[in-house]
Structures are given as structure tokens and as C-alpha cells.
Chain A
Amino acid sequence: AQSVTQPDIHITVSEGASLELRCNYSYGATPYLFWYVQSPGQGLQLLLKYFSGDTLVQGIKGFEAEFKRSQSSFNLRKPSVHWSDAAEYFCAVGARSNTGKLIFGQGTTLQVKP
């Protein structure tokens, strides 16, 4: 069965520090991979996505993610975190089929210290 695991429920970093949020997936083939961000009281916004090709993908707000097939991982990174990045982050996988369904991880809450 497809599944997504975000091992870190809560992460705190200082403003200006680098960030890496982990995501591991279980799927029979290479799925579509996504990172979404949810600011407090808001819906989800797409940060970036991976479908094929270059395994390092760039997204909005200075985020990037790297797909590693051998590790079944799709970790999100940012070189320098801003206070406005405080939010909840979700990794998701979608099947390469005609269903449109996504499976989400449990989410990682990011707190940014001044």
C-alpha cells in the first residue's frame, strides 16, 4: 500500500539557519511527489513537485527538494529560513494513474526562532 512518512512532527530552527524536512514514501513505482505548505488558518499551497527528470527541483519561496530513488525519499530544504516560513509542511505522493488521488504524510510543524 502507498504511504508517506514524515518522521519529524515538530522542528524548531533559528531564523537564518538552514532547514531540511524529511519525507519517505512507500510505493511500487516512482510516484509523483509534492510538498505543500499550510500557514495557520489557511488552506494548502503547493511549494514544489517532482514528476521526472532532474532529481533536484526548485519551488517557490526559495525551497528545493531532492528525489532519491534509492532511499525512497523526497526531502525539502531551504538554505536560510525566514520567520514567515513558520507553518506546517506536508509531503504527498500521487499515483501515476488516472485517479488524481494524493496520499499525504502526517505533516511537520516548523517553528522559527528569532
Chain B
Amino acid sequence: NAGVTQTPKFQVLKTGQSMTLQCAQDMNHEYMSWYRQDPGMGLRLIHYSVGAGITDQGEVPNGYNVSRSTTEDFPLRLLSAAPSQTSVYFCASNRERSSYNEQFFGPGTRLTVL
């Protein structure tokens, strides 16, 4: 049981490039989410999904796209990277959509946009 996995661990992009951050969970969790972590700002919710085929925006969705074609995977796409997107990105999953349940976090992806 690997839990929540994220790839890559580190990535450097040039402004305007696109890329996809991968997230997968093997716990059959219904709810998945993406956060970004910036110094002094804690974690901010980017997008979340309450099940396959269902996604919604969080607090800071601009510049990011998501899709949820399977229960296991929840990739985050940057269509045209900007320096403001330099951050550490965390994927998380819940057993079900209620925030009663513990969120399990992946190890993070550190992204630098030059």
C-alpha cells in the first residue's frame, strides 16, 4: 500500500512551458485535492475532486487545470507556467468527501519556474 504518490519530486520549468504533475493513490479514496505551499501562507487549495469525473475549484485555481478520469489518478496541469507558480505542490486524498476524515498527503513536488 503506497498511499499517495507524486511525481516528479523536483522540476524546473521556463516561463511559458507546460507540464503535468502526477498524483496517484491506491486506497480507493473518493476525495482528492491539490494544494500549493508557499512560505508564510500555509497550504492553499487549488482544485479538488469528490469522485471520478467530478472536479471543482479551490481557493487559487487560476493557471491550473485538473481532470479525474479514474478513482486513482488526479493530475494537475500547468498550461503556461509563470514564475508565480514556483511553489511546493501537495496532493492529498480522503476516504470520502466529508472533511471528517483524515487527509493523506503525498511527499510533494517542488516546482521552480524561471
Contacts and interface: CB of A to CB of B under 8 A. Distances in A.
A98 B8 CA distance: 31
**In the complex, which range does the number of interface residues on chain B fall in?**
20 to 34
A83 interface: no
Interface in A22-51: 32, 34, 36, 41-46, 49, 51
Contacts of A100: 31, 33, 48, 50, 94, 96-99, 101, 103
Contact of B108 (A43, A90, A106, A107): A43
A56 interface: no
B90 interface: yes
A102 interface: yes
Contacts of A87: none
A98 B98 contact: yes
Given A43-B108, A90-B43, A101 B98 contact: no
Nearest to B35: A104
A38 to B, nearest CB: 8
A52 B94 CA distance: 20
B106 A99 contact: no
Contacts of B102: 34, 46, 49
B50 A43 contact: no
A101 B105 contact: no
A102 B44 CA distance: 9
Given A90-B43, A100-B50, A104-B44, A43 B90 contact: yes
A109 B50 CA distance: 32
Interface string A77-114: 00000000000001010111111111111110000000
A47 B103 CA distance: 11
Contacts of A107: 40, 42
A103 to B, nearest CB: 8
| Among all A-B residue pairs, the 7 with the closest Cβ atoms | A94-B99, A43-B105, A104-B42, A100-B31, A104-B43, A44-B105, A100-B97
Interface of A: 4, 6, 9, 32, 34, 36, 41-46, 49, 51, 90, 92, 94-107
